[in-house]
Structure 1
Amino acid sequence: MNTQALDRRALGRTLTKLANASAVELAQRPLREPPASHARRIGITGAPGAGKSTLLGHLALQRACNGRLGVLAVDPSSPKSGGAILGDRVRMDELAGASELYIRSLGSRRTSDGLADNMSEMLDAMDDFGFAEVLLETVGVGQAEYAVRVQVDTLVLVLLPDSGDTVQAMKAGIMEMADIFVVNKADLPGAQKMATDIKRIAAISRQLQGAWIPPVLLASASQPESIETLSEAIDRHQAWLTADPRQQALREQRARYRLKRLLEIRAADVIARQDAAFFTAPLERQLELALELLVSKTFSL
């Protein structure tokens, strides 16, 4: 348990600065001291309308007793204006009174993988501010949300009864991504059938010896015991992770994702700076010029 009071203003300024930082600014940041501990990272993903925010709100209240808890909720940004409604913060206002609970809504901005710009750095900041756990809610765009798998330790996939997500899950490989399946709004018709279908798919999926077997749970905001069951499943997976030899591989994947995002952002900046004449050149020449600009002193690390 972190005994030092959370400096919300300092954390807010830090996250805002990181969210607005360019790729070059991030790359030029001084090396940070290793944090005393790393926060447990729990990802909540699923299709829009699956009730992720409501479920996350109840789960946050359930898990707030485990230590300082952060909630990072990503909302889709408009591709035209760049703005975001940030409705997750509105839906979770009732949680704001908890002294050790911090909620931050983020616009997805230029990302298309369900997360937000510079998410790796913001998650690092949560470690620096002594959080025991961070709940990360993705945009909710379905099959594109692959990046969250690398960023979190435990991934919860939220589905709706009779929503057709079972077939989509098989197509997108989500059965291999999720650590816990939750059929939300379990009081609706078709919830039990949905859970049975997911279990059937999981049963025929090839599992390595000793691998984690994802549980399939039914949940509803009106059933507090179902939220407690989900929280207990997360604890079991976290305990299993302590003996999982693949943690080093996960850290390497996070480093690869961070570098890939920095390069993508820098490439987008280079392209945005070019005038119309640049794009009249043959495509091969455009590529050569763009690569030269990426490694030039102007954009160098």
Structure 2
Amino acid sequence: MTSTPLDRRALGRTLTQLANANAVDLARRPLRTPAASTARRIGITGAPGAGKSTLLGHLALARAANGRLGVLAVDPSSPKSGGAILGDRVRMDELPGASELYIRSLGSRKTSDGLADNLPEMLDAMDDFEFAEVLLETVGVGQAEYAARIQVDTLVLVLLPESGDTVQAMKAGIMEMADIFVVNKSDLPGARRMATDIKRISAITRHAQGSWIPPVLLTSAAQSQSISALSESIDRHQSWLASSGRTEALRLQRARYRLRRLVEIRAAEVIAQQGAEFFAAPLAHQLAQTLDIVGKTGVST
């Protein structure tokens, strides 16, 4: 349990500052020691329209007894205006008891991996404010987006009944990364058949000895027992992570993702600031020479 009351205003300011920080500001932030990363991270991902926000809201209320709980929900930003509707926050705020949670909507901005700009640093900030658990909802993913897997401890993939084509398209990517499969809106026709299809796909996937076997669950916002079953599956996966020693590997992957994103952000900032002058700069010339040498020698980058 936390020892101090949550300062919502201070947390809100911190998250806003981080969301708007440039690459240099982010790089100056001190690296966290493993002991400082205390909040459990649960990711909710899946195709748009799968009911992720409502499911996440009910799950958050079910898990609120585990300690201070926050929700970070990523909404797609307009590529034209850069704005976002942030409807996830609206849907979750309507749930009874949501006032006891900290819910923050984030625009995806320039990212294309289902997450939001500077999200790793914002997740670190949740640790600073003594959150026991953070639920992260992504924009909606397909087979190419893998960043959500790196940023969370437990990844829940939410699917809809009669979305066989979606499963077929996703099975080469996020289907292989999910820790828990959920067929949401299970009162709709075809839910059980959908769950059977997922189990069939999972059964032909190779699993190393001692690895986690993702369960397949049926959920509905109208059935509280299904939310409880999902929460219990998350707890089981968290226990497995702790006993299998996989936590350190996840931290290493997150550090690599953060470094790559900082380089990408800084490169975009330099190009935006200098425009055509950048391509005539010595740095660009050296980069071109390096790439030419790599291409001729066949050295892998």
Fold shared, TM-score > 0.5 on shorter chain: yes
**1:28 alignment counterpart:** 28
Secondary structure of the equivalent of 1:92? Answer: helix
**CA deviation string 1:67-118 (max 9, x = no partner):** 1000000001111111111111111113585565200000001110011011
Name the count of aligned residue pairs: 287
Contact in 2 for aligned 1:161/1:186 (Cα 8 Å):
yes
Shift of 1:186: 0.5
**1:132 alignment counterpart:** 132
**CA deviation string 1:269-289 (max 9, x = no partner):** 1121233566699xx749549
- Look up the equivalent residue of 2:194 and give its one-letter code: M
**1:4 alignment counterpart:** 4
Contact in 2 for aligned 1:40/1:133 (Cα 8 Å):
yes
Contact in 1 for aligned 2:46/2:140 (Cα 8 Å):
yes
CA spacing shift, 1:113–1:286, aligned 2, 3 Å = farther
Contact in 1 for aligned 2:219/2:226 (Cα 8 Å):
yes
In 2, the alpha carbon distance for the partners of 1:222 and 1:96 equals 13
CA spacing shift, 1:255–1:138, aligned 2, 3 Å = same
Secondary structure of the equivalent of 1:186? Answer: coil
In 2, the alpha carbon distance for the partners of 1:48 and 1:142 equals 10
Secondary structure of the equivalent of 1:73? Answer: strand
Shift of 1:261: 0.4
Shift of 1:245: 2.3
Contact in 2 for aligned 1:39/1:134 (Cα 8 Å):
yes
In 1, the alpha carbon distance for the partners of 2:29 and 2:54 equals 36
CA spacing shift, 1:174–1:34, aligned 2, 3 Å = closer
- Range moving further from structure 2, 18-27 or 31-40: 31-40
CA spacing shift, 1:286–1:50, aligned 2, 3 Å = farther
**2:166 alignment counterpart:** 165
TM-score scaled by structure 1?
0.89
In 2, the alpha carbon distance for the partners of 1:82 and 1:26 equals 21
Alignment of 1:81-92 (within 5 A): 81-92=81-92
Q: Verify: 1:94 aligned to 2:94, yes or no.
A: yes
**1:79 alignment counterpart:** 79
**2:49 alignment counterpart:** 49
Note the residue ranges of structure 2 that are not aligned, 5 or more in a row. Answer: 292-301
Shift of 1:216: 0.1
**1:229 alignment counterpart:** 229
Note the residue ranges of structure 1 that are not aligned, 5 or more in a row. Answer: 292-301
- Look up the equivalent residue of 1:169 and give its one-letter code: M
Contact in 2 for aligned 1:6/1:100 (Cα 8 Å):
no
**1:298 alignment counterpart:** none
Identity %: 78
- Look up the equivalent residue of 1:220 and give its one-letter code: S
In 2, the alpha carbon distance for the partners of 1:96 and 1:265 equals 39
**CA deviation string 1:200-250 (max 9, x = no partner):** 111111111110110000001111111111001001111111111222211
In 2, the alpha carbon distance for the partners of 1:220 and 1:98 equals 18
Contact in 1 for aligned 2:74/2:105 (Cα 8 Å):
yes
Contact in 2 for aligned 1:74/1:116 (Cα 8 Å):
yes
Superposed CA RMSD in Å reads 2.2
Shift of 1:9: 0.5
Contact in 1 for aligned 2:40/2:133 (Cα 8 Å):
yes
Contact in 1 for aligned 2:2/2:67 (Cα 8 Å):
yes
Contact in 1 for aligned 2:143/2:171 (Cα 8 Å):
no
TM-score scaled by structure 2?
0.89
CA spacing shift, 1:133–1:277, aligned 2, 3 Å = closer
